[in-house]
Amino acid sequence: MRILLFGRNGQVARCVLEEADSSSEVIALGRNEADLMRDGAAQEAIAAHQPDVVINAAAYTAVDRAEEEKHAATHLNANAPGEMARAAKDVGAHFIHLSTDYVFDGGGENPYLETDATAPLNVYGRTKLAGEQAVLEANPQSIIIRTSWVFSEYGANFVKTMLRLGAERGSLSIVADQIGGPTPARGIAKTVLAIAAKKCRGAPGDGVYHYQGTPPVSWATFAAKVFDYAGQSVIVNETSTAQYPTPAARPLNSVLNCGRIERDFGLPMPDWRATLRQVVDALSKK
């Protein structure tokens, strides 16, 4: 199975490279190999490599900065994925695209189903939703995986920020009214590789899926667990979203119903606590 992977330096892509076994050839492209801000770059790469599967783990993920950099966010999150989906279809490759819980507005208390109405609150969410729509319009057999609160030992993420701040301060104020599921990048990597293999063997299933860590928690509770595993004595002061304004609005409820991905592909939600301990241990040794 030949996989063409976009977003080589991101959290998920780095884990895909580590988790892929010898039966898979993974060709990972970063900006130097395929500048997705340039129209045609993705199509050229897919045509050149003729993969069996294309995985898009590239995205503009700076949620607050996206409010000012709408053009860049739109190009990376919407235009490029649509181009990839078309090009993958042209070469007969399966296409897997990663999206986000931020396509929802966070209203209500129930976990979101794939079929629930979308209503993103910020530019990042709107561009990711536009990407989903572009992908499915270009290639309806594509697979889109919405996930949330991604963490790993790589890149920039909440866990690494908390470890850094916890080493500097004795107390931190963390938002407690945003609830979601922290999701290990390694779990996402294993999931996309499993789906890629199943699709290459002819398994049914396409469209939008949810994949998220369990159990749901607030950012404050997640931070407290990070400090606990790291052995840092940090007092977590719970605050509200209203008391901690940011340039981009965030959904209060980011909990996703992941029943469909388990039914179609046999892939359950990961318990984020086990992976978090491993990530904290790895980062503590650096």
Positions marked catalytic: 124
Distance of CA 96 to the CA centre of its chain: 12
Q: Element (H or E) spanning 94, and its range?
A: strand 94-100
Interior angle at CA 128, CA 127 and CA 130, nearest 5: 60
- Burial of residue 257, with CB atoms counted within 10 A of its CB: 0-12 exposed, 13-18 middle, 19 or more buried: middle
Three-state SS letters, 119-173:
CCCCHHHHHHHHHHHHHHHHCCCCEEEEECCEECCCCCCHHHHHHHHHHHCCEEE
* Omega before 111 within 30 of 0, i.e. cis: no
User: Residue 114, Cβ neighbours under 10 Å: how many?
Assistant: 16
Residue 192 and residue 7 in contact, taking contact as beta carbons nearer than 8 Å: no
Q: For residue 79, give the 3-state DSSP assignment.
A: helix
Q: Tell how strand 143-147 and strand 94-100 pair up.
A: parallel
Positive or negative: CA dihedral 20, 157, 118, 217: positive
Residue 121 and residue 168 in contact, taking contact as beta carbons nearer than 8 Å: no
